[in-house]
Amino acid sequence: MIHAAIYQNERKECVGFSFTGHAGYAEAGQDIVCAAASMLAINTINAMERYTEDNFSVSSDEEQGKIICRFDTAPSYEAGLLLKTMILGLSDMADDKNYEEYIDLTFEEV
């Protein structure tokens, strides 16, 4: 199962996220749940790097299925919008009856 944690500050702004684990929906290379979640995270990070001036750190370990993204400060409006878009996609996956057992989405105050 993929454990996706969204880190929020006291104002409920997303200030980071982490994904850990593998979905287990199908064999490696055929797992559409893992591919979709990974693409949401990677595309969000790439878009924030390209289209915002925000400072954030990223670490990953492909073998463990881990990616962590953390902001130094509250994200800009643009980065916040990109993060909301990622969260929308994750929420849709986690709420879908076909995929809900393969992805766990939580929100944590940090």
pLDDT one-digit tens code per residue, 38-87: 999 999 999 999 999 999 999 999 888 899 999 988 999 999 999 999 99
pLDDT of residue 98: 92
Q: What percent of the chain has pLDDT over 70?
A: 100
pLDDT of residue 99: 93
Q: What is the 3-state secondary structure (H, E, C) of the chain?
A: CEEEEEEECCCCCEEEEEEECCCCCCCCCCCHHHHHHHHHHHHHHHHHHHHCCCCEEEEEECCCCEEEEEECCCCCHHHHHHHHHHHHHHHHHHHCCCCHHHEEEEEEEC
CATH number of 2-109: 3.30.70.1490
pLDDT of residue 65: 85
